[in-house]
């Protein structure tokens, strides 16, 4: 029976399965453990189940000599130092596939919210400003027949594309090493939606120069990772009318502090990272995260592993 630390309570019953096989401690607070608390809880753990809010860096790994496995409750693993984990021979699991459709649905909702100024309309009514129907009130843009640039041609990007085909949209894809150049996509698209992974190369993929390439009638949507967009540049672009609007499910920093300039920008919708926030998606993520740990702690290969080279190295390691 291994000692496992879980950094937050998860939806569904997956943690019950983990607790039936191992000694499990779940962080009971709503807010994530601070770095010293995470370090303290991880020090004697043999396995760790983390969220994107938990930074698992080389220093943390060094302070956890018994650690054998990490499972991240997310598709991405940018909160984990993968090279450091791999060097230690620690497999790192993730939860792909099960949140694709939920995130694609939310992306479409944000595109429509930006296009038709949904949140602005809601605020307008709640503020008591609606007096009469007006022909020129809160005019938006058509999604039907629009050109949509999809940055990232992975599972979620393709799922968004399938939904947009129903609106008769022209789709332009760009991804690493294929499809249209990003500059062309930005110049042609009425809507730009981001679905790229966060890497050193993609950080601030959309900055001031890229925003200036977009049409003044275009909208930017991000449901991938906040640091793909330079938040300060986006705030300035929206304030100056460089583009028509933006809709974000992820931000940098995340969460945004209440005095962040982006929150004062016009024509902006911001959500609290709800891309996978459906009952079925979040419970399925928990099942996969637990499956990863159960496999690793029984000496088997994680079914969803972000650093499979760990197993390749084990296979080529000479027997003692």
Backbone φ and ψ for 29, nearest 5 degrees, come out as -85, 160
Least confident interval from 106-120, 123-137, 164-178: 164-178
In the chain, where are the structural domains located? 3-98+279-316, 100-270
Residues with catalytic annotation? 225, 254, 273
Q: Identify the sign of the CA torsion 296, 31, 25, 65.
A: positive
Question: What pLDDT does 258 receive?
Answer: 94
- Taking each helix axis from N to C terminus, what angle separates 118-126 and 100-116, rounded to the nearest 10 degrees? 60
pLDDT in tens, 175-191: 876 678 999 999 999 99
Q: Which two tokens stand for residue 315?
A: 């296979």
Spatial strand order of the sheet with 69-72 comes to 23-26, 3-6, 47-50, 69-72, 92-93
Report pLDDT for 316: 63
Q: How many CB atoms lie within 10 A of CB 316?
A: 7
CATH number assigned to the domain covering 3-98+279-316: 3.40.50.720
Query: What's the pLDDT at 318?
Result: 53
pLDDT for the residue 55: 97
* Percentage of the chain exceeding pLDDT 90: 95
**Looking at residue 211, what is its pLDDT?**
98
Residue 315 has pLDDT above 70, yes or no: no
100-270 shares the fold of 3-98+279-316: yes
Say what the pLDDT of residue 230 is: 98
> Strand locations in the chain, DSSP E?
3-6, 23-26, 47-50, 69-72, 92-93, 147-151, 170-175, 178-179, 191-194, 219-222, 245-248, 268-270
What is the predicted pLDDT for the residue at 179? 74
Each residue's pLDDT tens digit, 253-309: 999 999 999 999 989 999 999 999 999 999 999 999 999 999 999 999 999 999 999
Q: Quick one: pLDDT at residue 312? A: 85
Per-residue confidence (pLDDT) for residue 317, from 0 to 100 = 59
Q: What's the confidence (pLDDT) of residue 1? A: 93
For residue 180, what pLDDT is reported? Answer: 81
- What integer pLDDT is reported at residue 177 of this predicted model? 64
* Percent of the chain residues past pLDDT 70, beyond the cut: 97
The arrangement of secondary structure in 100-270, i.e. its CATH architecture, is 3-Layer(aba) Sandwich (3.40)
CA distance linking residue 105 with residue 271, whole number of Å: 14
CA distance 227 to 222: 10
Q: Dig out the tokens for 174 from the structure.
A: 């760009």
Give tens-digit pLDDT for 143-168. 999 999 999 999 999 999 999 999 99
């Amino acid at each position: 029976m291994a000692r496992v630390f879980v950094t937050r309570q998860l939806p569904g019953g997956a943690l019950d399965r983990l607790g039936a096989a191992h000694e499990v401690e779940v962080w009971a607070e709503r807010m994530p453990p601070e770095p010293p608390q995470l370090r303290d809880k991880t020090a004697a753990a043999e396995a760790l189940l983390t969220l994107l809010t938990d930074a698992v860096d080389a220093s943390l790994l060094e302070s956890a000599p018994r650690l054998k496995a990490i499972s991240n409750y997310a598709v991405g693993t940018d909160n984990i130092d993968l090279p450091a984990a791999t060097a230690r021979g620690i497999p790192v699991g993730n939860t792909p596939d099960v949140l694709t459709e939920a995130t694609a649905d939310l992306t479409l909702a944000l595109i429509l919210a930006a296009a038709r100024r949904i949140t602005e309309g809601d605020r307008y009514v709640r503020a008591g400003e609606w007096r009469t129907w007006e022909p020129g009130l809160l005019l938006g843009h058509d999604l039907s027949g629009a050109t949509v640039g999809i940055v990232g041609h992975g599972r979620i990007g393709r799922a968004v594309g399938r939904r947009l085909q129903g609106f008769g949209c022209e789709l332009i894809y760009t991804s690493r090493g294929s499809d249209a150049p990003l500059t062309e996509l930005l110049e042609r698209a009425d809507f730009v939606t981001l679905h790229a992974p966060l890497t050193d190369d993609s950080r601030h993929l959309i900055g001031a120069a890229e925003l200036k390439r977009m049409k003044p009638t275009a909208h930017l949507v991000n449901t991938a990772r906040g640091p793909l967009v330079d938040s300060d540049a986006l705030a300035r672009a929206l304030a100056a009318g460089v583009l028509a609007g933006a809709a974000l499910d992820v931000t940098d920093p995340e969460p945004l502090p209440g005095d962040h300039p982006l929150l004062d920008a016009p024509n902006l919708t911001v959500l609290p990272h709800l891309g996978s926030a459906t009952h079925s998606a979040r419970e399925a993520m928990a099942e996969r995260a637990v499956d990863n740990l159960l496999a690793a702690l029984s000496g088997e290969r994680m079914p969803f592993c972000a650093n499979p080279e760990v197993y390749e190295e084990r296979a080529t390691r000479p027997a003692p």
